[in-house]
Amino acid sequence: MLLRLILLMTIVFSALTCVARAEPKEILVLTWRGPTPAEEGFMNELDMLGVEANFEFFDANRDQDKLAGFLRENLDRLKKKDLIYTFGTTTALTTRNFDFEGVPHLFNIVTDPVAVGLAASLDAPGHGSTGAKMSLPADVILELTEQIHHYDKIAFLFDPREPNAVSEVDQLTAIARAKGKDAVQLRFTPDAAEKELQIAALAPQVEDADIVFLTSTSSFIANSHLLKEIIPHDKVSVSSSTAYMSEGVTVSFGTEYRERGVAAARVAAKILKDNMHPNDVPIDEITTEDATIFINKDSPAASKLHLEDAKNPIKYK
């Protein structure tokens, strides 16, 4: 009896020792324009979920060639990672061009992963990738907009070089026109040499619209000070990203970057802890009910909004 008890204790101790000595997960974090609260939320939530991890970071500094060069030069080493996290659509699409031999790919802050070809569907993403979707569906964004501000003509400002922005603006334009709205697409490349000429041409077109929608565009965020030269301070402006609000955008719908990082971590835990294949893990999407209406408390245009008609939570920033 004593011998049996000793053997049982030895087995239990060995099992506990194996658990205690579990190797930390090795995670590559690829960012596009420096670290954001999304990565902070991602790492903190993984820790809260009991996922011990070592993180390697690389920032592309908005240079696709730089990112591709890093991945190409380190491909063999990166194939040993347990997970590759990417921020933004361009980073995710560039990463997808490389064969990491089965390393799961987790994307975050992507407006529409299905439209840009990152996923086959939200429920069954495929391609060895899954993640967290950034913005609400286009029809929901326009519905929320109409709740708080009546408009007949809407101008969509976007950077035609960014797949994320092109996908978003095409969907929004189609839905707005189906609703009987006068919808115009305005192209703006803020880091181009002739940006002053662009601004001069865009300003009257923006003035002619009842409302301006800014697509989720990294080049706009990096050059957000230029937006004030295009959009009048008393013009209602809308975006699906809260990143613009410090530069005067009136209202944003959705959630904070940090909260998307938390959502991405919960998706990652299903892969790293539950051993699920990324193809079988649905993409996390903000629900209409969970969406927050963020109001820029310093925007003169905020007084034009009919917030009493809003059905979603309101938060001032």
- What are the start and end residues of each CATH 3.40.50.2300 domain in the chain? 2-132+257-280, 138-255+291-316
Q: Could you report the per-residue pLDDT of 116-167, keeping only the tens digit for each?
A: 899 999 999 999 999 999 888 888 999 999 999 999 999 999 999 988 889 8
Non-local (6+) Cβ contacts of 166 within 8 A are 158, 160
Residue 71 tokens, joined:
């991945």
User: β-strands 211-214, 237-239: how paired?
Assistant: parallel
pLDDT for 222 equals: 84
What percent of the chain has a predicted confidence (pLDDT) above 70?
Answer: 93
CATH code matching the domain that covers 138-255+291-316, chosen among 3.90.1150.10, 3.40.50.2300, 3.90.79.10, 3.40.50.1820: 3.40.50.2300
Alpha-carbon Rg for the chain, nearest whole angstrom, is: 23
CA distance 184 to 209: 9
CA distance 119 to 126: 6
Query: In sequence order, what DSSP letters do the residues of 149-170 get, joined into one string?
Result: ---SEEEEEE-TT-HHHHHHHH
Angle at 197 (CA atoms; ends 193, 199), nearest 5 degrees: 105
pLDDT 10s digit of each residue in the chain, 317 long? 444 544 444 444 444 444 445 799 999 999 999 999 999 999 999 999 999 999 999 999 999 999 999 999 999 999 999 999 999 999 999 999 999 999 999 999 998 899 889 999 999 999 999 999 988 888 899 999 999 999 999 999 999 998 888 988 999 999 999 999 999 999 999 988 899 999 999 999 999 999 999 998 888 888 888 998 999 999 999 998 888 887 889 999 989 999 999 999 999 999 999 999 999 999 999 988 889 999 999 999 999 999 999 999 999 98
Cα distances (angstroms) measured from residue 44 to each of 122, 129, 240, 306 = 25, 22, 24, 37
CA distance 98 to 118: 13
User: β-strands 211-214, 129-133: how paired?
Assistant: unpaired
pLDDT for 2 equals: 44
Non-local (6+) Cβ contacts of 316 within 8 A are 294, 295, 296, 297
CA distance 113 to 133: 7
pLDDT for 208 equals: 96
Please compute, for residue 250, the number of CA atoms within 13 A of its CA located in the half-sphere on the CB side.
Answer: 22
CB–CB of 233/207 below 8 Å? no
User: β-strands 292-295, 251-254: how paired?
Assistant: antiparallel
Fold of 2-132+257-280: Rossmann fold (3.40.50)
pLDDT for 3 equals: 43
| Residue bearing tokens 């519905």 | 143
pLDDT for 177 equals: 98
Q: Please give the mean pLDDT across all residues of the chain.
A: 91
pLDDT for 21 equals: 52
Residue in 132, 129, 104 with CA at minimum distance from that of residue 28: 104
Residue in 161, 179, 258, 173 with CA at minimum distance from that of residue 217: 161
Helix, strand, coil content of the chain in percent (nearest 5): 45, 20, 35
Cα distances (angstroms) measured from residue 154 to each of 31, 66, 242 = 32, 36, 19
pLDDT for 138 equals: 87
pTM of the predicted structure, to 2 decimals: 0.82
- Tell me, what amino acid is at 28? L
